[in-house]
Structure 1
């Protein structure tokens, strides 16, 4: 590794560049990535440099500062909108069997899908609710900080090559029909039935800076916290706790956990292995 005159290595200089990039993104556009996991954030910034041929992170920062339209591209690169229908089907099976029967006791059900990315899990959830006979009295709030991802989610159009995997996931999750009942295919694309969107509200929400979004009976946020620093994970889990009604449910990604988080004391596991929890005594809201 090359060492520069001030005793800084290339890697150390890149770390400084990433820090300046993050400061520029917040000062110029109001998006705060300072609490994202450093290694993951640096990797995504480096991918942006490679994808746009800027050569250095400093040059990427220059484009971010001086090209207003470049923000959308940067946000797309920094977010991780990678998912699939019924991802981790055993989780959706547990929601179907252990959570939805309890939610059925409510006359109106509010669900917050935080970090919805391109919407595959939102539509998976809508199918679960449809098959459980609960969708008509459910409102799903699907949020993300990335406007481009939200537009993609609202369209509900995906590559047809995904259909085979998604169909397997659906059946493994206990699906009672065939997944093809919920989409039409044309020109190597599949479009999910618009009826799955009838009770979904897509909205911009930033888990880093925004507050409680709604009062929810179920919060799903899967494979988002792994990209956050420990303090930001704690903040986000507190946000979810404060969003839930007493007895409400929280579902995290299978690589995420409530362990060691301050909010853990307020939850009891429904299925700890699948990261499904239930809120006990309602914790007081901060401030």
Structure 2
């Protein structure tokens, strides 16, 4: 079978990222990865992917552009509000039994999911007992997440999501608006730690009662999904909960043995045993 020149270039580009900077994209879903790499080349005004390789090798500052292009920092507050309502109604009562609650949110992009969860925990009277660990491999996205500043045009949709998720007040209680931007209240950050973590190469991040990783695994190969699920399993205490994205599944992953569905429709599982 003849391999196209573009596919060869992409393979060499991925290898250069791994050897030069330690980022391994080799197990990402091929079609999605190819699309993002070619889009990156075009956005940089390059005729082909080969032109990216030289910049990756000899321009250290170029990596921030590469990571921004290859990651998918797309989210919204209370995205899939029924999932957040299910967490509030079925998972929070169990979390309430712990004197200290650790929650790991992996692949947080620009942080909307972190603050969504913080708001619901605050309203449930649990936030002061919580430590939220918000991680991503993209430092630029993490910086934006810590700033907690978003376009005001999103506020109307987010307010509807908040209400549908079971919010008890109004979303406007949690932000200030100015110059077509909204800034979330800094009190929502008081128990949040932002950190760089790469699900491709890094291992257990913390011991947690709840792990959320939504709409990240869909970009991984089956082998890499299994690896990530193993990291989540090893990070959870027995009886802890895992929440994935609506198009993600644990059904065929060996590392997911031991999880039982809490709500299979909304991809919420509980770790019954670690064996």
Q: Does 1:156 align with 2:148?
A: yes
Deviation at residue 135 of structure 1 after TM alignment: 0.2
Q: Does 1:143 align with 2:132?
A: no
The counterpart of 1:234, out of the listed 221, 226, 234, is: 226
Structure 2 CA distance, aligned partners of 1:151 and 1:40? 25
CA deviations on 1:206-234 (whole Å, 9 max, x unpaired) are 10111100000000000000000000000
Q: Quote the offset at 1:42 in angstroms.
A: 0.4
Report which stretch shifted further, 45-54 or 212-221. Answer: 45-54
Where in structure 1 are there 5+ consecutive unaligned residues? 1-6
Cα distance between partner residues in 2 of 1:54 and 1:60? 8
Task: Quote the residue 1:4 is aligned against.
Answer: none
Deviation readout 1:220-250 (Å, 9 max, x if unpaired): 0000000000000000001100100010000
Q: Given the alignment of the two structures, is residue 130 of structure 1 paired with residue 149 of structure 2, yes or no?
A: no
The alignment's TM-score, normalised by the length of structure 1, stands at: 0.94
The aligned residue for residue 209 of structure 1 is 201
How far apart, in 2, do the equivalents of 1:268 and 1:182 lie?
35
The aligned runs of 1:11-26 (5 Å cut-off) are 12-26=4-18
TM-score normalised by the chain length of structure 2: 0.98
Instruction: Indicate the SS of the match to 2:257.
Output: helix
Pairwise mapping of residues 155-234 of structure 1 onto structure 2 (< 5 A)?
155-234=147-226
For these two proteins, the number of residue pairs brought into alignment is 275
| Counterpart for residue 94 of structure 2 | 102
Q: Which residue number in structure 2 is paired with residue 35 of structure 1?
A: 27
Task: Report whether the alignment pairs 1:271 with 2:263.
Answer: yes
Indicate yes or no: 2:272 matched with 1:280.
Answer: yes
Unpaired stretches in structure 2, ≥5 consecutive residues: none
2:238 to 232, 241, 246: 246
CA contact (8 A) 2:230 2:256 kept: no
Q: Which aligned runs of 4 or more in structure 1 are off by greater than 6 angstroms?
A: none
Contact 2:262 2:269 in 1 (8 A): yes
Distance between the aligned counterparts of 2:273 and 2:223, measured in 1?
23
Bigger Rg, structure 1 or 2: 1
Give the RMSD, CA atoms, in angstroms: 1.0
Q: What is the distance in 2 between the residues matched to 1:240 and 1:69?
A: 31
